[in-house]
Amino acid sequence: MKLSARIVASAAALALAGLTATACAPSTSDNSSKTDEKSGTLRVWLFQEVNNKPKQAVVNSAVTAFEQRHEDVKVDVAYIPVDTRAQKIKAAFNDPKSAPDLIEYGNTDTAGYVNDGGLADVSEEFAAWDEAADTDPTAKQSVTVDGKIYGAPFFVGVRALYYRTDVFKDLGIKPPKTQAALVAAAKKIREERPELYGLVVGGAYTYGAMPFIWANGGELATEKGGAYTSAIDSPAARKGIKAYTRLFGDDNCPATKCAEMGGNDTIEAFSSGKAGMAIGGDFNHQAVEDGKVKGKYAVVPLPGVKSGDIAPAFAGGNNVGVLKSTSHRTLAVSLMKSLAGKDTQRKQFDAMGFLPTFTDVRKEVAEREPFVEPFVRTLGAGAKFVPASPGWATIDASLVLPNMFQEVVSGRQGVDAAAGDAAKKMDESFQKSAG
């Protein structure tokens, strides 16, 4: 499949639109290092994937090349769980002696981490980096706060619908083109194949739930004059919450098993052959390929409410940044460029399916890999992002939305009450981060 440069470029722009954030003054004390050592050990924290071996191989290759260029330098890479990253990284910001030199972080964390005073301003080094000229402008925005750059884009990610082609064929099901058809297909699979989840969902899978809220016209928050107010309890958002939480039941994905699932859990269920459908990212492609369903699945955009519509997907992605407290700033910035550079992003795509952030590299990989197509279509249909507020990091870390979903799924609260409680907590975080 060949994609035009225009399609690829516009999809990239939509994928990361609106990421520029405005933050208050850092809430932690200045922990900037006064030294810049040119030898020693660089410590790196990267996120652990569902299947981490392919990522390790790519990172090891980049690290080996880096160490060969710097004879007196060793690189120590640790892989940390995504779900507990907030506490671990915040602790590192407050304790420079135990902190790494370089971290991988989600693009939703940028404003919060800058507000915490943890990330180093690398604007000058980024501007002088030759490869940076090909960074998609909106990918660059994902590391930008108040006009300053706090890292390098690592990859862009978006989710779509994975489905079992063999199960669909056996049961006479066609890929769904509406959310109603999606629900009907899920229930039919569960009824005919009770050993399978129809559409595997997770009560802790925030980014799998968001498309249902957005597709029904809801928003997470509204912005006015740089200030955010929660909209999760609006009528449209509540409609989306109902659409998602109704998928938790014996006729699809039993709450007793699915309420605590996160995104990785749902992908593991699908790749191991325990589900007919799953909402997964381009970055989950290799994990599925390595599973039992290899050769027996396909991917289409997650449908919207109306036929032909694509549900808005969360425009995700990760960045790599240098900590302000590093005593190896020059080396850390150099390693950042190696890990987030074109060569590594090419290998990362081949190994994991992570979409590159460089426009030329993304065009190159999209032309030779058909599996990219439904994800690019999803981006082109209009991806969305979380509120560009440092308060979002608190909302995310305190599991406000997963707790809301789980309250509804468990039957402890109705949608209106759970959404109302979540809105209050979100507004408290927005207000505290406003300065």
What pLDDT is recorded for position 382? 77
Low-confidence ranges of the chain (pLDDT < 70): 1-31, 138, 435
What is the model's pTM? 0.74
348-365 tens-digit pLDDT: 999 887 888 898 898 888
pLDDT at 138: 65
CB 278 within 8 A of CB 186: no
Q: SS3 for 337?
A: helix
372, amino acid identity? V
The pLDDT assigned to 373 comes to 87
- Distance of alpha carbon 115 from alpha carbon 105, whole angstroms: 14
DSSP for 193-230, written as a single string: -TTSEEEE--TT-HHHHHHHHHHTT--SEEEETTEEEE
Helices (H), 3-52: 5-15
Among 368, 346, 315, 333, CA closest to 106: 315
How far is 89 from 65, CA to CA, in rounded Å?
A: 27
Q: Taking the mean position of all CA atoms in its chain, how far away is CA 406? A: 21
Can you tell me the distance from the alpha carbon of 42 to that of 68, in angstroms, rounded to the nearest whole number?
Answer: 14
Task: Say what the pLDDT of residue 30 is.
Answer: 64
Least Cα distance to 242 among 430, 366, 419 occurs for 419
What are the distances in angstroms from CA 238 to CA 224, 399, 408?
Answer: 22, 18, 11
Q: Read off the pLDDT of residues 18-51 as tens digits, 9 standing for 90 and up.
A: 333 333 434 445 667 778 999 999 999 999 988 8
Q: Are 194 and 264 in contact (CB under 8 A)?
A: no
